[in-house]
């Protein structure tokens, strides 16, 4: 049987799927990943752990299939500095790492301010982005900096290990802080102003273009032929493509460890305020506006570990359903690790407000789920103002919860669909492998099918609208306090 293979280098796991030529999942496997936090707000991984997981997964491919192509997906922004011999110089600094706030501020000042940076790249410079990580290394790890030859993002490092070819593509380059999203090119003047060598950045291709073929020694070990590897894309862009979010007006709301709201557009104009990210999609001529929250399901996981270990996820859903919208006046600000959209505030922190002697953990779990969804609504309102939204597809672990699907539809006041496949970035990566292998876009679009559409409950929406006003006001009330207590815990 001929199959297409998708690999997703995620934050907590590496996932591999095999699909046939009609998009049916033949095999799905994963390997877990750990995260190290050597400092407050820091997050790192060893790229060798990625490679070990990838090779284990590739070695597990059944011998009765022929891999026609490999597609890649992975966590955005994560920096992997490599020397001339291909040696990784330090652990990868992840997308959720918040150590570079001063580097971001310094770079924006040097480049002429926030508005000028948005004009140059389409985005503000965020602490999690790639370029400020390079600037941080220059200041704090000069020996590492002096030996840099290439700066990879996660899936591009794996692509290099697979093929020996240096490359990246539009969607991951978009999150680097040195890529002009509108013009689709590295911003040479920006790099020169900041003193960063443009030669460290890989050549850029299309997401469905062939990156190269498997290294001969790896192909021999696996017993494969000259298997092609396509460039792939950034996790959010590839996940959206894998859900069929691939036409202007399509929108994805994803509730995973982080949360995203992404809408496809053919516009070349970024959000002038910089509150929304503006990135290239995996398809030619398309980009997307995106809002990102750093602790979506991570918030719910944190509370489950703290006060609900005896509950299954279905049990948490039941507890939420037993409590009316509004959580008895309780609110949760889901800013455990700072926040990107819309606040761009690394000092923001999680706040549970409104506890009383009548409160129990059912109220807490509903407040947490509502607070995460309010945070996503912040992004949804900004996205909808930037480009028309015609349909919404929900993804991630949150999409598996019936109560969360209904809450999202009602809170946004918009029908929410769920796709038949739940494979995320790995599935979209297999779709890109199929495109690179010769299937047409129309053929690949037929792989995606809608399983269910949930309509909003407008009676519930009224309660959520009242809660949303208080949610926004609570952040405004505490914004000064967040900054005043930064670094105290």
Mean pLDDT lowest for which of 184-193, 359-368, 432-441? 359-368
Q: What is the dihedral of CA 254, 465, 332, 419, to 10 degrees?
A: -20
DSSP string, 88-150: B-SPEEPTT--TTHHHHHHHHHHHT-HHHHHHHHSS---TTSHHHHHHHHHHH-HHHHHT--E
Joined together, the tokens standing for residue 423 give 């494979």
Q: What's the burial of 361, exposed, middle or buried (CB within 10 Å: 0-12/13-18/19+)?
A: middle
**DSSP annotation of 207:** T
User: How far is 11 from 33, CA to CA, in rounded Å?
Assistant: 7
DSSP string, 16-35: EEEE-TTS-EEEEEEEE---
Residue 355 neighbours by CB distance under 10 Å? 13
User: Please, what is the Cα angle at 449 between 9 and 253, to 5 degrees?
Assistant: 55
Domains of the chain in sequence order: 2-235 (3.30.420.40), 246-420+457-489 (3.30.420.40)
Task: Kindly state the helix (H) or strand (E) to which residue 279 belongs, with its residue range.
Answer: strand 277-280
pLDDT band at 488 (very low <50, low <70, confident <90, very high): low
Strand partners, 458: none
Query: Tell me, what's the pLDDT at 309?
Result: 81
Query: Tell me, what's the pLDDT at 337?
Result: 83
pLDDT at 489 over 60: no
Beta strand pairing status for 185-186 and 13-19?
Answer: unpaired
C-alpha Rg value of the chain to the nearest Å: 22
Q: Binding site: residue ranges?
A: 76-77
Active site residues: 235
Joined together, the tokens standing for residue 196 give 């960063």
Query: Tell me, what's the pLDDT at 227?
Result: 96
* pTM, full prediction: 0.91
The proportion of the chain whose per-residue pLDDT surpasses 90, expressed as a percent, equals 86
DSSP string, 349-365: --EEE---TT--HHHHH
pLDDT at 400 over 80: yes
**DSSP annotation of 440:** -
User: How far is 445 from 451, CA to CA, in rounded Å?
Assistant: 15
Q: Binding site for substrate: residue ranges?
A: 76-77
pLDDT at 174 over 60: yes
The better pLDDT of the pair 313, 163 is held by 163
Spatial neighbors of 7 by CB under 8 A, at least 6 apart, are 14, 15, 16, 54, 57, 70, 71, 72, 73, 155, 158, 232, 426, 429
Q: Any idea which residue has 């600094």 for tokens?
A: 93
Query: Tell me, what's the pLDDT at 486?
Result: 84
For residues 69 and 434, is the Cβ–Cβ distance under 8 A? Answer: yes
The sign one gets for the Cα dihedral 336, 337, 339, 340 is negative
Residue 366 neighbours by CB distance under 10 Å? 25
Compute the average pLDDT of residues 128-155. Answer: 98
Spatial neighbors of 211 by CB under 8 A, at least 6 apart, are 159, 163, 165, 167, 205, 229, 230, 231, 232
Query: Tell me, what's the pLDDT at 290?
Result: 96
- Average pLDDT over the chain reads 95
**DSSP annotation of 450:** E
Beta strand pairing status for 228-230 and 185-186?
Answer: unpaired
Q: Any idea which residue has 């011998």 for tokens?
A: 63
Phi–psi pair at 292, nearest 5 degrees: -135, 130
pLDDT band at 462 (very low <50, low <70, confident <90, very high): very high
Query: What does the pLDDT look like over 318-331, one tens digit per residue?
Result: 889 999 999 999 99
Residue 150 neighbours by CB distance under 10 Å? 18
pLDDT at 43 over 90: yes
Q: What's the burial of 480, exposed, middle or buried (CB within 10 Å: 0-12/13-18/19+)?
A: exposed
Query: Tell me, what's the pLDDT at 348?
Result: 94
Q: What is the dihedral of CA 472, 477, 481, 482, to 10 degrees?
A: 0
């Amino acid at each position: 049987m001929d199959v297409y293979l998708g690999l997703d280098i995620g934050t907590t796991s590496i996932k591999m799927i095999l699909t046939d030529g009609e998009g049916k999942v033949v095999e799905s496997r994963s390997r877990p990943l750990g995260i190290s936090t050597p400092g407050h707000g820091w997050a790192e991984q060893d790229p060798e752990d990625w490679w070990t997981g990838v090779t284990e997964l590739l070695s597990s491919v059944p011998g009765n299939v022929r891999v026609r192509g490999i597609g890649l997906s992975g966590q955005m922004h994560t920096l992997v500095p490599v020397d001339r011999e291909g040696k990784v110089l330090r652990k990868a600094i992840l997308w959720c790492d918040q150590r570079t706030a001063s580097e971001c501020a310094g770079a924006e000042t040097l480049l002429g301010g926030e508005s000028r940076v948005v004009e140059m790249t389409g985005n503000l410079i965020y602490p999690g982005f790639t370029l400020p990580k390079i600037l941080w290394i220059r200041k704090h790890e000069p020996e590492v900096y002096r030996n840099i030859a290439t700066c990879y993002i996660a899936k591009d490092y794996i692509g290099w290990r697979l093929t020996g070819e240096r490359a990246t593509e539009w969607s991951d380059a978009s999150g680097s802080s040195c890529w002009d999203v509108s013009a689709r090119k590295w911003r040479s003047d920006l790099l020169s102003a900041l003193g960063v060598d443009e030669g460290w950045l890989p050549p850029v291709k299309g997401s469905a273009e062939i990156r190269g073929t498997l290294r001969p020694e790896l192909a021999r070990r696996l017993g494969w032929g000259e298997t092609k590897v396509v460039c792939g894309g950034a996790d959010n862009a590839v996940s959206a493509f894998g859900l069929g979010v691939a036409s202007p007006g399509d929108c994805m709301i994803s509730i995973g460890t982080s949360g995203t709201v992404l809408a496809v557009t053919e516009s070349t104009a970024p959000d002038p305020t910089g509150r929304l990210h503006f990135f290239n999609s995996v398809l030619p001529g398309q980009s997307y506006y995106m809002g990102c929250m750093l602790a979506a399901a991570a918030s719910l996981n944190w509370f489950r570990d703290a006060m609900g270990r005896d509950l299954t996820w279905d049990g948490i859903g039941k507890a939420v359903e037993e409590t009316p919208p509004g959580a008895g006046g309780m609110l949760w600000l889901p800013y455990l690790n700072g926040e990107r959209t819309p606040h761009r505030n690394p000092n923001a922190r999680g706040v549970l407000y409104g506890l009383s002697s009548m409160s129990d953990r059912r109220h807490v779990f509903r407040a947490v789920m509502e607070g995460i969804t309010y945070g996503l609504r912040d992004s949804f309102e900004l996205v909808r103002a930037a480009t028309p939204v015609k349909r919404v597809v929900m993804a991630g672990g949150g999409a598996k919860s019936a109560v969360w699907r209904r809450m999202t539809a009602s809170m946004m006041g918009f029908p929410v669909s769920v796709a038949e496949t739940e494979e995320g970035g790995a599935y979209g990566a297999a779709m890109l492998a199929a495109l690179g292998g010769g299937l047409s876009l129309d053929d690949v679009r037929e792989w995606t099918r809608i399983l269910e559409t949930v309509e909003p409950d407008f009676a519930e929406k009224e309660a959520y609208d009242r809660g949303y006003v208080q949610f926004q006001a609570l952040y405004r009330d505490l914004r000064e306090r967040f900054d005043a207590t930064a670094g105290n815990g």
